[in-house]
Chain A
Amino acid sequence: MKKEIDYQLWKNEVWRLKEKIEEVTGNKITAARLKAAIKMINDRRRVLQRLNRLRRAIPTPISGRDALLINQISFYDDPKRFTEKISALCDELEERVKKKEGVVPEGTVRLLLSGCPMAVPNWKLPYVVESSGAVIVDEESCIGERNTRDLIDESGETLEEMIDNIVKRYMNIDCACFTPNKERIEHIIQLAKEYKVDGVIHYTLQFCDPYLVEAYKVEKVLEKEGIPVLRIETDYSMEDIEQLKTRVEAFIEMLK
């Protein structure tokens, strides 16, 4: 449960982080600078939201692997440049959606990837999925939807107000490290419907126990909703690739 005391604890940490950043960089975090930075990072989230909305089109205009790469890059690219470039890409994709030009033919099995974040260079599962004849249309993950869904309230004027808004935004996250975290499962169902997916692949990075535990609950609820689920637990290494292929291909065959 996220209680008031947890917000206080988290808020203290954010203030300590602010001081540490000032100490390490020698830059003072002022109200004016923080306001501009909040706007800049919100803009980056907005452009990624726009990209994801375009992926709802049938046929989808961009592969899951490309979209994942874009989300991965968003963490370290210059935010202004990134927002500009992805905005231009979205303009292009919008045209493609209008012309019904998909990256895969209409009727391709559409999947939602849900679970642990996939950081560079982790493209194993998307590679297996998309080379087996399906397409990933959304990532319910911290490198994906969960990172871009919520904006920070931009109305704060003082440093205190702005930091409060940052605290609230991050505490709102439905990562499996929170409990009972019912909102995550509701959110997966909502995404599965919005993106018109045929199934969900729940991915757990090996030894990430919070997601491993939640996978069970996710599967039970989605099955009740009539949404097929495949649970995968794997890591970055390539030794289980053939086993993964068999499971993923069989799941796709089952959905066809």
Chain B
Amino acid sequence: MKALGIDIGSRTVKCVLMEEDRVVYTHKCLNSYDPVKAVKEVLNGINYDVMLATGYGRSLAQRMFGAKTVTEIKTFAVGARYLVPNCRTILDIGGQDTKAIALNEKGKIIKFEMNDRCAAGTGRFLEVMAKALGYEIEKFGQAALEGEDEIQISSMCTVFAETEVVSLLARGKKTRKYCPCLTQGYRQPHCGDA
């Protein structure tokens, strides 16, 4: 049996095709103003027997493609244990929110925390800051570890923090110095909870 899992997130659409216990195909694309189109693009040419949808667009996939739905929190729990069988803590930095999930020794979810409507603390924050400083998101974390911890950014809000970064750049500060303070917030509140 071929089972397709699709995650329709706020920023990207991802799919994984599994045949029995093996991953046979994966694909990822940016989401857009038209999520149905993005999903169709991801599904193009894939044959599957059942579909399970998760992410903010999961009920859309249920209506449009007859998918079964489950929340990201549960799929993370199952997926993380599949990849790392003794995993107990999951941190998901998503486009729209960040989730910290605690599992018991059997892999059952015992608690989760999630930020709500604000973009502060989300993956989108990191994306905006990386762009403002001219980094690709994939390299931003490494740059943070190598940067010098001198500059403090006092805003948590994505919009205000970007304004702060832009004004500091205009005063001649070097970009490398920012990265640690812009990623620090993630290590503190989220990991503290988890």
B117 interface neighbour in A239, A250, A253, Cβ under 8 Å: A239
Partner of B71, one of A233, A234, A240, A249: A249
Write out, one digit per residue, whether chain B residues 88-107 have a CB within 8 A of any chain A CB (1) or not (0): 00000000110000000000
**Quick one: which of A202-245 are within 8 Å of B by CB?**
233-234, 239-240, 242-244
Cβ contacts under 8 Å, B97 to chain A: 243, 246
Q: Does B153 contact A (CB under 8 A)?
A: no
Q: Which residues of chain A (65-121) have a CB below 8 Å from chain B? A: none
- Name 19 interchain pairs, CB-CB below 8 A, sorted by A: A240-B116, A240-B117, A242-B56, A243-B96, A243-B97, A243-B114, A244-B116, A246-B56, A247-B112, A247-B114, A249-B71, A250-B73, A250-B74, A250-B112, A253-B70, A253-B73, A254-B73, A254-B108, A254-B110
Interface residues of A (CB under 8 A from B): 233-234, 239-240, 242-244, 246-247, 249-250, 253-254
| Complex: A249 Cα to B74 Cα, angstroms | 10
With an 8 Å Cβ cutoff, the count of chain B residues facing the other chain is 15
From the candidates B72, B109, B110, name the one contacting A246 in the complex (CB within 8 A).
B72
Do A246 and B71 touch across chains, with their CB atoms under 8 A apart? yes
Q: Which residues of A contact B114 (CB under 8 A)?
A: 243, 246-247
Q: How far, in Å, is A204 (CB) from chain B's closest CB?
A: 12
CB distance from B170 to the nearest CB of A (A): 33
- A253, B71: Cβ atoms closer than 8 Å: yes
Distance in Å: Cβ of A109 to nearest Cβ of chain B: 14
